[in-house]
Structure 1
């Protein structure tokens, strides 16, 4: 494999969580123009955050899993379904498999919590990425932060 290797882990401490938020700020706020006041929300305090880091510790990507009541609010009330969100990969790390590794880490965290499926709201340009990972789109296209999205789900 060319390029730097990386590892994905659950963000366990404040430094890891700050690294997750920094990647989200870089990708969603700076690159995509999502207002910072809606990028971070109350769900961040209860989510399982995953972090991809290069061997030298540089943060490369992040994602989060909502479960329990937090997920039910996003998935139509089904407590067995988790919600994957805020998946972001820093521009220099794109194409290295970081995004797929983050999705799999979120799915592993969902399985560890007894969940049977994972839902997500995919930006429409990323539908093919998620389809390759086994997700199926459903429902109409909708706007989130002014960006077109579709709901998707994968059984675990």
Structure 2
């Protein structure tokens, strides 16, 4: 059965209420569904990150993601200048298959371009490699565990 079309918008989170909506999506997807410990899901990078939020027209949050850049991205990208780090991409179960994930990735990429970045790295859960590959990301390096979940590093030049 195909998902029912839903009207939504994706934008950079603006203010505490938007950030809390992003965190609520992440909690539902990563902590509740995937069993990631809450103390691993939220980190010091959240304070410096650019968060993106997908919301239905009625304000119900559907998805979230974040961009780390500058000092915040250095630990994730090996300190390579001009490279940001896309992370914490999450879409609630009822919104999967609607294009929300693609829209969130593109919003993070646009935020990266606006900050002068030339590439975006990410650590993809291995089940999501195909999703990111379809969006132009290329895997590199060995598989690694993150919160007990297998991942691979991927990059896309902007």
Q: CA RMSD in A?
A: 0.9
Query: How do 1:3-152 and structure 2 match up within 5 A?
Result: 3-152=5-154
Which stretches in structure 1 are left out of the alignment for 5+ residues?
none
Contact map agreement 1:119 1:151 (CA 8 A) in 2:
yes
* TM-score between both structures, scaled by the size of structure 2: 0.97
Which stretches in structure 2 are left out of the alignment for 5+ residues?
none
Q: How many residues align?
A: 156
* TM-score between both structures, scaled by the size of structure 1: 0.98
What's the CA shift for 1:78? 0.9
Q: Structure 1 residue runs of 4+, over 6 Å off?
A: none
